[in-house]
Amino acid sequence: MTQSATVAVVGAGKWGQNLIKTFHSLDVLAAIVESDDLKGQTLATQYGVEYYSEIEDVLSTDIAAVAIATPVFSHYELAKKALLAGKDVFVEKPMTTRPEEAEELIELANHNGCILMVGHLLLYQPGIQFIKEFLDQGKLGQIHSIRQIRRSLGTIRKEENVLYSFGVHDLAVLHYLIKEPIEAILATSQIVISEGIEDDMTVHFHYRSGIQAHLHLNWLWPVKDRQLMILGERGSLHFDELRQEVIYYKQYANKDATVTAPDHEIIFEDSTPPLTLELQHFLDCIQQRKTPRSCGIQGRDVVKLMADIMKIQERTHGKLLYP
């Protein structure tokens, strides 16, 4: 379907090029903004769009929206400029480095009537949508615990730790699935490569209703592993992100400590690329002027949660105290 909106992608790094390619496939890519002239001009020629070296050059055009895929420390200033110019904004995760910056962007978007969407990609995985509906329908009963794992040996960053690079995905999913207050957080970490940059983190959450959630992040792990497991009173769900399948384990323990008969099945499979679904959702929100699934408020809440986790682990120096 041809879209009336046009989009300029700001930042042509590894992920920015994924946005460029996908927006082009959706027939809405109008321009590329990149500080590296050679890279920017090469990509603009390849995709047959305009090239600009600064975001200010885009703001004076009739391009409807900008998609920001630059390092996180620049998100706030770039998004602020775009919103002040009346542009709809898609900003990659994390939304900002500080909750206060995210709050200001939300207020600017509301004041200027702009769409503000954060690139929490996992919320657009069909498997996560299926799990959300499964839980909302009460099919798993009361939720007891959640375990999330995101580990691999890949890009090790020097400008942000494993929580801000990896964990932001899982925190967005946790925030999306569990709509209740967190009462306590315990965080531990380990620094192996670069001073001050956590390579391994484990975070535990205790919710008001008694739900406990556990997250392990590591970018030094030799085996790629991305999983979400949810234990409930009527069985468990296991989402293998690499296989894009949801398994329902119907076996569970009764109050009298008896265990039901083993039974499990794959109840959902869908490998539709989530980035295409995510960016199509952004275009739909622009056309229909509706609030995105991963809106500014959701992005702000995730930024605040990450900030709270870092405060806690810094207070304990990333260690568990042993008497």
pLDDT digits (tens, 9 = 90+) for 67-93: 999 999 999 999 999 999 999 999 999
> What is the pairing mode between strands 88-92 and 116-119?
parallel
Cβ pair 321, 201 in contact under 8 A: no
The architecture of the domain spanning 123-274+306-315 is 2-Layer Sandwich (3.30)
Q: What is the rounded distance in angstroms from the CA atom of residue 105 to the CA atom of residue 121?
A: 20
Question: What pLDDT was estimated at residue 322?
Answer: 63
Burial class (CB in 10 A: 0-12, 13-18, 19+), 56: exposed
Question: What pLDDT was estimated at residue 1?
Answer: 34
Cβ pair 258, 265 in contact under 8 A: no
Q: What is the rounded distance in angstroms from the CA atom of residue 23 to the CA atom of residue 279?
A: 7
What residues in the chain have per-residue pLDDT under 70? 1-4, 252, 256-257, 261, 318, 320-323
Question: What pLDDT was estimated at residue 319?
Answer: 72
Question: What pLDDT was estimated at residue 158?
Answer: 83
| Residue in the block written with tokens 């895929």 | 69
Q: What is the rounded distance in angstroms from the CA atom of residue 233 to the CA atom of residue 64?
A: 48
Class of domain 7-114: alpha beta
Question: What pLDDT was estimated at residue 323?
Answer: 61
Cis status of the peptide bond prior to 94, with omega within 30 of 0: yes
If you ran DSSP here, which 8-state letter would residue 223 be given?
E
Q: What is the rounded distance in angstroms from the CA atom of residue 163 to the CA atom of residue 200?
A: 8
Where are the extended beta strands (E) located within the chain? 7-10, 29-33, 50-52, 65-68, 88-92, 116-119, 143-153, 182-190, 200-207, 212-218, 220-232, 235-240, 245-249, 264-269
The alpha-carbon radius of gyration of the chain (Å, integer) is 21
Question: What pLDDT was estimated at residue 313?
Answer: 85
Q: What is the rounded distance in angstroms from the CA atom of residue 132 to the CA atom of residue 172?
A: 13
Question: What pLDDT was estimated at residue 320?
Answer: 67
Q: For 111, phi and psi rounded to 5 degrees?
A: -65, -35
Question: What pLDDT was estimated at residue 203?
Answer: 97
Question: What pLDDT was estimated at residue 5?
Answer: 85
Question: What pLDDT was estimated at residue 2?
Answer: 39
Question: What pLDDT was estimated at residue 143?
Answer: 97
Assigned token pair, 300: 């702000």
**End-to-end alpha-carbon separation of the chain, Å?**
63
Which residues is 189 bridged to in the sheet?
201
Question: What pLDDT was estimated at residue 64?
Answer: 98
> What is the pairing mode between strands 65-68 and 7-10?
parallel
Cβ pair 218, 192 in contact under 8 A: no
Assigned token pair, 234: 């009527």
Q: What is the DSSP string of 43-101?
A: HHHHHT-EEESSHHHHHTSS--EEEE-S-GGGHHHHHHHHHHTT-EEEEESSS-SSHHH
What residue spans define the domains of the chain?
7-114, 123-274+306-315
Q: For 218, phi and psi rounded to 5 degrees?
A: -160, 125
